[in-house]
């Protein structure tokens, strides 16, 4: 149960991190993007299958009991499913205006450059309300709706780190979060990008799966 919840939370966080919240994903890319998500306690590896505005995210382990997240920004639908129990639940897409975004107090483009997963990236330092974010972003993937809201802040008309990058067409291939004392709290990094065709079946819940009302019901096996 504990591992299930950890993986589930990481899946949701990962897709939110890449595609942001409150904006439709506009990504002229079809293929597979591999990521790692790391904090001070663990490292998890993921695969994201992308086809237009549809996204499927799963762990690289491909174990039957590990949740799979499917999001369709065109139809505004999102599902989490578990193969072992043949169950799925519909969940809200990230965003919708009910949560505020993480506000920034400044963005510095350092001039440093690095190639990550074969793509040219530029370094940015984003000053947050608490701590800062080191971002390595690329224009080579087209416009991607930025980053997740990692903190809940009061609504404001100040610029946000999500809108700053997404409005400029950047996609983050590495993002490192530091607290107010300068200590790393976690990071996200793309490890491989493969451009290839992705079948339509990757973005559909298989026939015969039972729909449940809550996420906690996903791991209860059929009787």
Q: Is 6 helix (H, G, I), strand (E, B) or coil?
A: helix
Give the pLDDT confidence score for residue 8 in this predicted structure. Answer: 54
Give the pLDDT confidence score for residue 21 in this predicted structure. Answer: 44
Instruction: Tell me the average pLDDT of the chain.
Output: 77
**pLDDT confidence tier of residue 213, bands split at 50, 70 and 90:** very high
Of 154 and 205, the one with more pLDDT: 205
Give the pLDDT confidence score for residue 100 in this predicted structure. Answer: 42
Residue 117 has pLDDT above 90, yes or no: yes
Contact 79, 58 (CB under 8 A): no
Q: What is the rounded average pLDDT of the residues 188-207?
A: 93
List the single range of 11-20, 74-83, 178-187 with lowest mean pLDDT. 11-20
**pLDDT confidence tier of residue 65, bands split at 50, 70 and 90:** confident
Q: Pick from 179, 176, 182: which is nearest to 134 by CA?
A: 176
Q: Is 124 helix (H, G, I), strand (E, B) or coil?
A: strand
Of 2 and 89, the one with more pLDDT: 89
List the single range of 40-54, 78-92, 198-212 with lowest mean pLDDT. 40-54
**pLDDT confidence tier of residue 113, bands split at 50, 70 and 90:** very high
- Per-domain boundaries in the chain: 2-96+196-219, 104-193
Tens of pLDDT, residue by residue over 153-197, are 333 344 566 667 777 878 888 989 898 889 998 888 999 989 899
Contact 38, 187 (CB under 8 A): yes
Tokens of 32: 């597979």
Three-state secondary structure of 9-38: HHHHHHHHHHHCCCCCCCCCCEEEEEEEEE
Tens of pLDDT, residue by residue over 85-101, are 999 999 887 654 434 44
Contact 136, 125 (CB under 8 A): no
Give the pLDDT confidence score for residue 108 in this predicted structure. Answer: 93
Token pair 């607290």 in the structure block, residue: 179
Give the pLDDT confidence score for residue 98 in this predicted structure. Answer: 37
**pLDDT confidence tier of residue 30, bands split at 50, 70 and 90:** confident
């Amino acid at each position: 149960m504990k591992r299930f919840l950890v993986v589930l939370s990481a899946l949701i966080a990962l897709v939110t991190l890449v595609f942001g919240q409150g904006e439709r994903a506009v990504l002229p890319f079809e293929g597979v993007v591999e990521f790692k998500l790391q904090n001070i306690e663990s490292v998890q590896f993921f695969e994201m299958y992308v086809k237009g505005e549809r996204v499927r995210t799963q762990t690289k382990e491909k174990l039957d009991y590990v949740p799979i997240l499917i999001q369709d920004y065109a139809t505004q639908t999102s599902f989490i499913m578990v193969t072992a129990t043949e169950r799925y639940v519909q969940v809200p897409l990230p965003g919708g205006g009910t949560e505020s975004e993480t506000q920034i107090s400044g963005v510095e483009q350092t001039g440093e450059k690095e190639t990550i997963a074969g793509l040219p990236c530029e370094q940015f330092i984003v000053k947050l309300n608490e701590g800062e974010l080191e971002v390595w972003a690329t224009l080579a993937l087209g416009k991607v709706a930025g980053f997740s809201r990692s903190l809940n802040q009061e609504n404001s008309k100040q610029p946000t780190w999500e809108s700053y990058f997404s409005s400029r067409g950047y996609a983050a291939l590495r993002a490192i979060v530091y607290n107010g004392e300068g200590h790393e709290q976690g990071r996200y990094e793309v490890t491989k990008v493969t451009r290839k065709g992705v079948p339509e079946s990757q973005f559909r819940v298989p026939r015969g799966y039972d729909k449940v009302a809550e996420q906690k019901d996903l791991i209860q096996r059929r009787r």
